[in-house]
A and B are shown apart, each in its own frame.
Chain A
Amino acid sequence: MNLIKFLDEFTTDKMQEPMTCRRAMFGQLGSIGKKAALAAVPFGLATASNKAMAQSSGDVVGVLNLALTLEYLEDEFYAMALDSGVLSSNAKAEAIYQQISKHESQHVDFLTAAIEGAGADPVAKPSFDFTVGGAFDPFNENGAGQATAYAQLLALAQAFEDTGVRAYKGQAANLMGSAGVLTAALQIHSVEARHASEIRRLRGLEGWITGNQRGAGMPEATQAVYNGEDNISQGGVDVTTLGSGSPFTMDAATQAYDEILTRDEAVTIASLFIES
């Protein structure tokens, strides 16, 4: 993807929205999630503080700032994971995290440049709390021990990657008409899916999602990431009825299609890890 070509997209009509509108949105973004990081709040329930980012679906910059927020989260998570020492005795996991960390950092830079290139302000990086108020200890900072920390580190990575896939997918239609932006977003989307597949397999799961199962060892708090993945109606067609045999079982038919998350749903999940 040529960055210059990508930036050219922002000369299109979608970028002509009044700055006041966008400024108002960014102003609100600063206070997102202050009350969300409550321990033991399931991913799907922390909705009270999430209105701000849910306002501007259809706005390209709004989509990119949502994406940037998710990438900030992933980027910091993987950087902290690699710094924590929790992975240092597992060469495979460490190599996988290094590769994913590199991509998330690149995504942050790419999206920041894209938003700035549009003459807009990238959303500020939030302060993250990956312990969710002390409920988790993925970096073994609070005495959980390496084994527990490692399990949580992998579980959170799976949740973040599967969330990323669904969140980008949910925004694709809002980028129609901006071909370069759409293509780049799709290119990030499939990278997140590769990450998700690998993390899931590292955890001993299949690379794809069956039904709405979060998978063995995933905290119940992550269920919101998987709710709705059991959908079998694609474009109005029940894809379990298109033939007979193993490709048309519930398992295969749900594995074969990933589902979207709405902006609200994605923000709700991310907000659990945002302090301020």
Chain B
Amino acid sequence: MKKKKSIEVKTQTVGRNRRNFLKVSGLALAGSSLLLAACSDDDDNGNMMGGGTFDLGTGDVGVLNYAYALEQLEAAFYTNVVNGSFYASASADEKAILLDLYNHEVNHREFFKAAIGANVPMEQQLTADLEFDFSSVDFGNRDSVLTTARILEDTGVSAYNGAGQYIQTAVYLTLAGKIVSVEARHAAAIRSIINGSADYTAFAGDDIIDSNGLDLAASPEEVISAAGGFFVTPFTYNNPGA
């Protein structure tokens, strides 16, 4: 997909970023995935150069970019909700919940921006300016806003649950865990206010929790397919576990 690059240039980039990582974040990076990428001159790991579609990458880099894409999407959605003064019929309780979700998702987005900026080689960093298409959402309509929120939160849960296995560094896995449980708290609250007294079990309904009591877990392919309608900026996530 992309032109071959000089190994020397790429290796230097990785080296500099690894030092930044250790210095800035203090996390214990397992450098092997980055070095592996650096040593392969025909990979397409998270690299937009050469005109191909940006690929989120593999291992920790891929998961960081993937999470960043999803958090950008959620943050952009709730920003629209909050900036649009919510929907006309929003109760005080609903506004408080949606404002909290906006706060949390914007914080998550900025966290991943900082983490990626410190830890991922420049050319493998997902852009901070993904564009989204929310034309399918009627921001003045309760059902439309809450249904979209439910889809985004449930998708977030399924995405983190499905991608945990691709994380190679314990600190990142724990961080993903810190975030996914908050997404699940969101999902439960949204599902609860959507269904109200019509279904008191919706917060963890039989439509999402299986007969072993397990929540959703989806592959990146399934997630990107489910949320793909919102993404204008194209990207791929071809080899999360490579």
Q: How far is the CB of A189 from chain B (nearest CB, A)?
A: 6
Q: Are B111 and A186 in contact, CB atoms less than 8 angstroms apart?
A: no
Say yes or no for B217: interface residue by CB 8 A criterion.
yes
Q: Which of B168, B186, B187, B215 has the most CB of A within 10 A?
A: B215
Instruction: Please report whether the interface of chain B is mostly helix, strand, loop or mixed according to DSSP.
Output: helix
Say yes or no for B9: interface residue by CB 8 A criterion.
no
Say yes or no for A188: interface residue by CB 8 A criterion.
yes
Known: A1-B217, A248-B107. A189 touches B212 (CB 8 A): no
- Name B128-187 residues within 8 Å CB distance of A: 157, 160-162, 164-165, 167-168, 170-175, 177-187
Closest to B79 in A: A247
Q: When chains A and B are docked, how far (Å) is the Cα of A182 from the Cα of B99?
A: 32
Closest to A258 in B: B181
Q: CB within 8 A of A252: which of B100, B203, B210, B212?
A: B100
Instruction: Please report whether the interface of chain A is mostly helix, strand, loop or mixed according to DSSP.
Output: helix
| Residues on A with beta carbons closer than 8 Å to the beta carbon of B157 | 190
Say yes or no for B108: interface residue by CB 8 A criterion.
yes
Interface residues on B, range: 35 or more
Beyond A187-B215, A208-B104, 14 additional pairs, beta carbon < 8 A: A110-B212, A172-B164, A173-B174, A179-B165, A189-B215, A190-B180, A190-B215, A194-B215, A196-B185, A234-B178, A237-B115, A242-B114, A243-B106, A252-B100
Which B residues are within 8 Å of any A CB, using their own CB?
24-27, 96-97, 99-100, 102-104, 106-108, 110-111, 113-115, 157, 160-162, 164-165, 167-168, 170-175, 177-189, 192, 197, 200-201, 203-205, 209-217
Which A residues are within 8 Å of any B CB, using their own CB?
1, 3, 91-92, 95-96, 98-100, 102-107, 109-110, 165, 168-170, 172-173, 176, 179, 182-184, 186-198, 201, 206-208, 234-237, 239, 242-243, 246-249, 252-253, 255-260
A-B pairs, top 4 by smallest CB distance, nearest first, are: A106-B213, A193-B184, A95-B200, A252-B103
